[in-house]
Amino acid sequence: MSTDGRTSGGPAGARTADGRHAPVPLAGPRALDGGRLELPAGRYDWLHARFRADEAATVTWWLHYATGADPETLHVPAGESVAVRVPVARRAELRAVGLPEHPALTLLAVTAIRPPATSRTTHEADELVTT
């Protein structure tokens, strides 16, 4: 576990003490080869990704939900270990990420961030009754 209370790896679906951070298991650094990265299925606010980037790059990740797929553009600066936050716009279950092909980028780590326990999905908010 890191000094900020987040784990850096572990089994699929593992969570930290706050229950919001779900590290995505990787078998080691992963080249961006156009493959698919399976996630612990769930609803997330963000994906935090860490890259080794031999050069700055702009790439597209495809977020695969239970209800479809959306593109997200990532701007990755050059560096040995650079962090990028990827917004998860839909409130549907996210299942996987379609990775781009880019020989200058290596994926080092991904953590999926769940919404706080107090937040509500749009569907849940629509069902609230006020008097």
Question: Which residues share a beta bridge with 86?
Answer: 47
Cα radius of gyration rounded to whole Å, the chain: 16
Please give the model's pTM, rounded to 2 decimal places: 0.76
Q: How would residue 88 be classed by pLDDT, with cut points 50, 70 and 90?
A: very high
User: Are the C-beta atoms of residues 88 and 63 closer than 8 Å to each other?
Assistant: yes
Q: How would residue 70 be classed by pLDDT, with cut points 50, 70 and 90?
A: very high
pLDDT at 129 over 60: no
**What tens digit of pLDDT does each residue of 29-46 get?**
999 999 999 999 999 999
What pLDDT, on the 0 to 100 scale, is given for residue 117? 83
Side chain identity, residue 30:
R
* Domain range list for the chain: 21-118
Count CA atoms within 13 Å of residue 68 on its CB side.
5
Which CATH number among 3.40.50.2300, 3.40.50.300, 3.30.1050.10, 2.60.120.260 corresponds to the domain 21-118?
Answer: 2.60.120.260
